[in-house]
Structure 1
Amino acid sequence: MLDLTFQLKTLGAFVALVLAGNVLRAKLRSRSRLPLPPGPPGHWLFGNHIPSANQSQQFAEWINTYGPIISLRLGPSRVMVIIGRHQESNDIMEKEGGVLADRPRAVAAGEILSRGLYMILAPAGEQFRRLRKAAHTHLQAKAADSYAPIQMDTARDVILDILHNPKGHQAAANRYAATVMLRIMYGKSTPTATNAPEIIVIHKVLKRFQMLMRPGALLIERFPILKYVPGYTTELEEWRREESQVYHDQLNRVSRELATGKAGPSFARHLLANQSSHQLSDDEMAYLAGSLFGAGADTTAVAIMYVVMASACYPKAQEKVQEQLDIVVGRDRAPTFDDYNSLPQIEAFMLECLRWRPVTTIGFAHRASADIVYKGMLIPEGAIVFGNHWAISRDPSVYPNPDQFDPERWLNSDGKIRDDIKFPSFGFGRRICPGRHVANRSVFINAALLLWSFKITQDPENPIDEMAFADGVVAHPKPFAARFQPRFGDEGSLRSVMAMHGEGL
């Protein structure tokens, strides 16, 4: 009897497993039959043609044509999904953040150029967690607050630089960002010129990296076997050696200073002093500090440039900010971080700048580690997924008249910052930019000082082309002219106020 009962239970369990397997297979078959998001037709073997210029804008046009989520084929098997609307980006990029925490394979920039050492390209897993945790020590909100003296001091120098050479306002923005990040990352407190050797090399390294990261930039991404073709990667290997050298040189300098007791506070010093607890190799430390320095300097400078451009192109928006500055700050002193909560017009102006001209127009690629089903469409496991910042910023359902620069869209009826809309300026989910707190504070203090100090206008003989920017991973504005008229007294008066501003740090 016991044997019969056991056999019946075994048979029942077997039948249950078979039925469960059939249900699972049916579910998988039904999922596999779900369509990909729509998109432009492509070649059956080579897939879709990826534009080499104005990528984010072309993707935005396809989104307008085919819908808020589109798919492209990269060869016979790889799928790229591009999300271009606010709600869909929140539903997928944020709510499915765990599934999209991974990065796709990056052959040129990841495997060859950096040998897997870039945190921004690290796949989800143990290495990424170690790097992210180490970066968090000096980039979290509380740490960002401690950099106020550095940021205010250097932002004051931007005003002085512009007084000395108004035509060099973009160089002044570059100098600000490089100086702040050098001091945070490496403790280097000497004045930094835009033609300093380390700055020249860093910008060269960044330019190469951003070129390699453009979707469809290199054939090797579609056909990785090319990395084994003799001579094919020679130039990339040369770039790798130069990049590694500059990152290690900076870390080694701090290491020597630490050994002699001369090292000031910095992220690199922290890494060296806590290497065992962070479990980072020398290569990982060098690339973590170096890549954070480069990325932070580049994107912050671009954001400041767009503050100047928007101010010159939209004088009424500039005037509203200045009216509030005059009420809150007055004319006897310059604004500081202590004024942040009393200047919502500045914050609204910043938010609109970052939406109007996203610093990263395309965004960075995510990889789906599992199937995502959304509104009857399938984003398959392994798909490369982009949240296209340019297209999202033009979502008319969230940002009416999206091409119009309108800081008032960020303010409620009480003149406070709205909490019901946002823009993904710094990315999505678990891959959100770790340096966002430092970057936001840099943009704020520069916007506040620039608009307190100057009436910024266009040069009538050289009008600004608002669409003149490099539509790449980082949307660098092309050179543009602007005029800077001191708002209070003459240049000498402004210099005096800036001198007192420095003494109060």
Structure 2
Amino acid sequence: MIVSRKLRYYETTVHLKPHQASLCPTMLRLTDLQLSSHAQLFVAATCLGVTALIYYAYLASTESSFSYPPSPPTWRLRGHLIPPRNGFMTVESWIEEHGPLITLRAGIKKHVVIGRYKAAVEIMERHGASLVDRPRFIAAGELLSGGMLIPFIRAGERAIHTHLQPKVAEAYQPLQISYAKNTVIGILNDPHNFQDHARTYAAATSMKVAYGKTTPTSATDPEVKRVAKFAEKFRTVLHPGAYLVDSIPWLKYLPWYARDLRDGCRDSQELFVELFDRLKQEIGGDEAGPSLGRYLWEKRNSNEMPELEMACLAGTVFAAGYDTTTLAICTILLAAACFPEEQRKVHEELDAVIGINRVPAFTDKKSLPRLCAFVSEALRWRPLIPMGLPHRTTQVVVFENYRIPAGTTVSGNHWAISRDPDVFPDPHAFKPDRWLDAEGCMRDDLKFFGFGFGRRWVPSFSAFINAVLPLDDMAFMNGNFQNEQPCTIDFQTRIPEAELRRMMGRDVEDF
């Protein structure tokens, strides 16, 4: 039996020229049309096919208009599929097959991914002025962040770079040393929960940089837990394809869509405003130390930034510093546990340079090249942001035979870059020596992108000063470890514990 269904009644008046009136003297009625289910499927398939042809014709025309890098083949209308877990490895396989630059597609939008060291230095460093902009990311930048968080507003990045210049960042070093000593004491007291001690260090340091807070801060503080939740959500949302709204923008106008992102935005902004209000009170009472938040507030007449934006920028530094510093410390400790022979070499250098009667200081950094090489190799081995962060070109960027038009989203895939065999031979092996020259000094011809492109002073200083201290060796790369302990590390002291506690308890001014 053929099941048929009448279409809804439509009646339209057809206006005809006089000589055409005899051909159709009556109204056109569609009520008599009937389609079988097979015919309906045929019509639907035909429409879909025509749409797909138009879609791919558009892609082909844009491909021929611009000399984009090669693109891995895909038949998905939504573009390339990057798995949510270890998707950076999928991108790396495409880089190995197609070359140092590839073009990925999300809907009709194109995204150029850099996967080799030479291309990263040339495009992201030397042409950095052409990539100061950020693309529109609706899920992360608008729904979750309300358009007020770095890396989605250029004014915020300028303010942070101005405040965190190298000489300014050095002012935070005494407290970083003090917090690092507290971390050692924490590990001595409770070695199983080393991640909590790393979180506490990261939270205390980030609160100092963002708000000038010098009172004790713990990973269990309510504001730290809230910012940790936000940072974890932010990482998840940034993953390509995590939310459909980035391909279909009008979804953001549906009030029931992505309620989790809207709730996260509201909660984070409430937190950042609370912390900023507390800072303003401390400034009024002359209790606040130097910080980015204080800098923004005191420059409010010249920077012309709304107060909510200033609060969110300071909050961004708190969240980003907490997240990346925690991951960096845990990754370095993990590398030390996985590669005890390399750890032994660092210990020998520390004993020769520092001895066992004092703790290292930042002024010792140039005398500890093997320690620095270990840190660099650990963060190359397991990069903190393997997929990289997106940029957008403000003008045409040319690299070799490729032309990247203005307005193109560009990102560096840190996982693939750190596995460039031409720069890092045997890239999957852990070899700190690759960072040292023939004289045993740190090479000056090899850059490090562990904290993103450009300079990231405070996290890198923190990684250095904390490094003096069956496993899932990729556990920390995605940052999703707030409610779990992905590994356990056995800590053993190299000097008597009583002596170690004595050194860690001395006043920071002694160093």
Q: Please give the TM-score of this superposition, normalised by the length of structure 1.
A: 0.84
Instruction: Give per-residue Cα distances to partners, 1:347-367, cap 9 Å, x unaligned.
Output: 111111121111111110112
Match for residue 286 of structure 2?
261
Change (3 A) 1:498 1:46: closer
1:37 and 2:69 matched: yes
1:422 maps to amino acid: K
Answer whether contact 1:206 1:294 (CA < 8 A) is retained: yes
1:480 matched to 2:511: no
The answer to whether structure 1 residue 227 and structure 2 residue 234 are counterparts is no
Question: Which amino acid is the alignment partner of residue 499 of structure 1?
Answer: G
Structure 2 distance, partners of 1:222, 1:100, is 22
Distance (whole Å) between structure 1 residues aligned to residue 402 and residue 480 of structure 2: 28
Matching residue's letter, 2:277: N
AA at the equivalent of 2:100: P
Q: Give the 3 Å change call, closer, same or farther, for CA 99–478 of structure 1 in structure 2.
A: farther
* Pairing 1:32-431 to 2, within 5 Å after superposition: 32-33=64-65, 35-43=67-75, 45-75=77-107, 77-122=108-153, 128=154, 130-428=155-453
Amino acid at match of 1:416: C
Instruction: Work out the CA distance in 1 between the residues paired with 2:484 and 2:259.
Output: 31
Once residues 293 and 213 of structure 2 are traced to their aligned partners in structure 1, the CA distance between those partners, rounded to angstroms, is 11
Q: Which amino acid aligns with 1:488?
A: I
- Distance in 1 between the 2:76 and 2:220 partners? 49
The 1:476–1:394 alpha-carbon spacing in structure 2 relative to 1, beyond 3 Å, is farther
| CA shift in 2, pair 1:212/1:411, >3 Å | same
Distance 1:79 1:174 in 2: 37
CA distance in 2, matches of 1:498, 1:154: 10
For the residue of structure 1 that corresponds to 2:131, the secondary structure is coil
Partners of 1:483 and 1:447 lie apart in 2 by: 16
2:128 partner SS: coil
| Offset, 1:89 | 1.4
Query: Which of 1 and 2 has higher RCO (CA within 8 Å, sep 6+)?
Result: 1
Which whole-Å CA distance do the structure 2 matches of 1:239 and 1:86 have between them?
Answer: 36
SS in 1 for 2:327: helix
Matched, 1:497 2:506: no
3-state secondary structure, aligned to 1:45: coil
Work out the CA distance in 2 between the residues paired with 1:329 and 1:163: 21
- Contact 1:469–1:475 under 8 Å retained in 2: no
CA distance in 1, matches of 2:92, 2:410: 15
Q: 1:405 to 1:44 in 2, by over 3 A?
A: closer
Compute the displacement of 1:35 (Å): 4.4
Q: Residues 82-141 of structure 1: CA distance to partner in whole angstroms, max 9, x if unpaired?
A: 11110111222223323322211111222222232112112xxxxx2x423322343110
Alpha carbons of structure 1 residues 365 and 472: separation in structure 2 relative to 1, 3 Å: farther
Tell me the amino acid that sits aligned with residue 447 of structure 1: A
Is contact 2:373-2:433 (8 Å) kept? yes
Measure the CA separation in 2 of the matches of 1:484 and 1:31: 55
Contact 2:327 2:476 in 1 (8 A): no
Any idea what the Cα deviations from partners look like across 1:450-469, whole Å, max 9, x if unmatched? Answer: 0xxxxxxxxxxxx2122334
Structure 2 CA distance for aligned equivalents of residues 114 and 337 of structure 1: 35
Would you say how many aligned residue pairs link Structure 1 and Structure 2? Answer: 451
Report if aligned partners of 2:110, 2:408 keep a CA contact under 8 Å in 1: yes
Larger radius of gyration: 2
Cα distance in 2 between the residues matched to 1:398 and 1:476: 37
Unaligned stretches of 5+ residues in structure 2:
1-60
**CA deviation after TM superposition for structure 1 residue 387, in Å:** 0.6
Query: Once superposed, what is the RMSD of the aligned Cα atoms?
Result: 2.3
Deviations 1:244-275 (A, max 9, x none): 10000000001112223333333222222221
**Counterparts of 1:109 and 1:265 in 2: how far apart (Å)?**
30
Amino acid at match of 2:442: I
Is the deviation greater in 41-50 or in 415-424? 41-50
Percentage of matched positions with identical amino acids: 42
Q: How does 1:443-454 map to 2 (within 5 A)?
A: 443-448=463-468, 450=469
Matched, 1:442 2:473: no
Q: Label 1:281 to 1:474 Cα distance change in 2 as closer, same or farther (>3 A).
A: farther
Q: Structure 1 stretches of 5 or more lacking a match?
A: 1-28, 123-127, 451-462
- Alignment-derived partner of residue 16 in structure 1: none
